[in-house]
């Protein structure tokens, strides 16, 4: 019995004194700096105002072409039937004109078939993916801050604003956020405080510096995968505010730990200064 109690006490002591791998994540798995209420966003469904004929302007043209083809086919079929039935035993000048009309209709039909093929391929290529020139233009717009067409979003919580700043490219921003998450975790592992300083506000940097000083030496937290979602957005004449929720998984091979990622970063940007960067002003763990 005494041996059991001793072993139990030892396990409890080790569990409280051993460093937890979660503390080795960027920010020490603590809520630091500013904090805001957040909520997921949903895409607003556009109102359906166009009629079916307006949505597909080629529908009526297709019907006309179909009717024309049917009438032409019936006309040609009737003439051929008359020809093979012996109605044209004595070929006259009018018969030659009728044969010419049949040939003209066949030529128009075959020409229409040839035109239809490249048109269909053109639509297929357009929907299969953008050209390299278009992709390069989209990337340039994302990095220069050019306004791009964005679907409208609203928060699922009426108390949480979701007003995107003018010219904001959500897809490019979230892609950059995922990359920055990995960059900052690497800087946290290697105690590269100057790198971290570039991404955060001065007040948050002091909090992060104090947390990192609690860890000894190099850390080994590896981000396995991470995704990002915008959960708050607002702006005024001077400042833009964004909140990004990260979800994924990380591991520490040295500690033999694997845990979920569930963090929210609150960012701000000074709109009164040209080309001002987005800075992290708060972390919610």
CB-based contact 259:22 (threshold 8 Å):
yes
Q: What is the pLDDT of residue 155?
A: 82
Q: What is the pLDDT of residue 105?
A: 79
Q: What is the pLDDT of residue 34?
A: 94
List pLDDT tens digits, range 114-155: 544 433 323 333 323 333 333 333 433 433 344 445 567 788
Q: What is the pLDDT of residue 90?
A: 60
**Higher pLDDT pick, 2 / 183:** 183
Assign 111 a pLDDT band (cuts: 50, 70, 90).
Answer: low
- 19-42+156-284 — its CATH code? 3.10.450.240
Q: Give the Cα separation of 266 and 275 in Å (integer).
A: 19
- Nearest residue to 284 via CA among 32, 39, 38, 20: 32
Query: What are the sequence ranges of the domains in the chain?
Result: 19-42+156-284, 54-138
Q: Give the Cα separation of 282 and 279 in Å (integer).
A: 9
Helix or strand (DSSP H, E) at 177: helix 170-189
Q: 152: which 2 tokens?
A: 């409208």
Assign 67 a pLDDT band (cuts: 50, 70, 90).
Answer: very low
**Higher pLDDT pick, 62 / 143:** 62
Q: Give the full edge-to-edge strand order of the sheet including 239-252.
A: 32-33, 279-284, 257-270, 239-252, 221-235
Is a pLDDT exceeding 70 seen at residue 276? yes
**Is the pTM here over 0.85, yes or no?**
no
Q: What is the pLDDT of residue 154?
A: 80
Angle at 91 between CA 88 and CA 95, to 5 degrees: 80
Q: What is the pLDDT of residue 58?
A: 52
Q: Give the Cα separation of 234 and 10 in Å (integer).
A: 52
- Nearest residue to 226 via CA among 178, 284, 285, 263: 178
Query: Coil, strand, or helix at residue 50?
Result: coil
Length of the chain: 285
Share of the chain above pLDDT 90, in %: 44
Question: Which residues, in sequence order, are CB contacts of 8 under 8 Å at separation 6+?
Answer: none
**Higher pLDDT pick, 182 / 51:** 182
Share of the chain above pLDDT 70, in %: 58
* Mean of pLDDT values over 267-284: 95
CB-based contact 129:138 (threshold 8 Å):
no
Q: Give the Cα separation of 189 and 182 in Å (integer).
A: 11
């Amino acid at each position: 019995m005494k041996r059991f109690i001793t072993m139990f006490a030892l396990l409890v002591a080790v569990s409280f004194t051993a460093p937890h791998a979660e503390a080795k994540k960027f920010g020490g798995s603590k809520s630091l700096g500013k904090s805001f209420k957040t909520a997921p966003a949903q895409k607003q469904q556009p109102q359906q105002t166009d009629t079916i004929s307006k949505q597909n302007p080629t529908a009526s043209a297709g019907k006309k072409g179909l009717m024309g083809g049917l009438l032409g086919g019936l006309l040609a079929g009737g003439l051929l039937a008359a020809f093979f039935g012996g109605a044209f035993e004595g070929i006259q000048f009018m018969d030659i004109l009728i044969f010419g009309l049949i040939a003209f209709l066949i030529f128009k039909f075959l020409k229409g078939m040839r035109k239809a093929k490249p048109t269909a391929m053109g639509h297929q290529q357009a929907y299969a993916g953008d050209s390299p020139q278009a992709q390069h233009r989209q990337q340039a717009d994302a990095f220069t801050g050019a306004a791009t067409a964005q679907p409208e979003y609203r928060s699922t919580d009426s108390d949480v604003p979701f007003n995107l700043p003018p010219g904001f490219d959500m897809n490019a921003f979230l892609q950059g956020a995922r990359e920055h998450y990995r960059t900052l975790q690497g800087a946290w592992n290697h105690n590269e405080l100057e790198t971290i300083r570039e991404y955060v506000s001065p007040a948050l940097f002091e909090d992060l510096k104090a947390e990192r000083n609690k860890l000894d030496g190099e850390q080994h937290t590896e981000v396995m995968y991470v995704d990002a979602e915008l959960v708050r957005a607002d702006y005024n004449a001077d400042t833009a505010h964004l909140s990004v929720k990260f979800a994924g998984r990380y591991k520490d091979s040295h500690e033999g730990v694997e845990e979920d990622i569930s963090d929210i970063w609150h960012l701000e940007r000074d709109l009164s200064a040209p080309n001002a960067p987005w800075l992290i002003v708060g972390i919610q763990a």
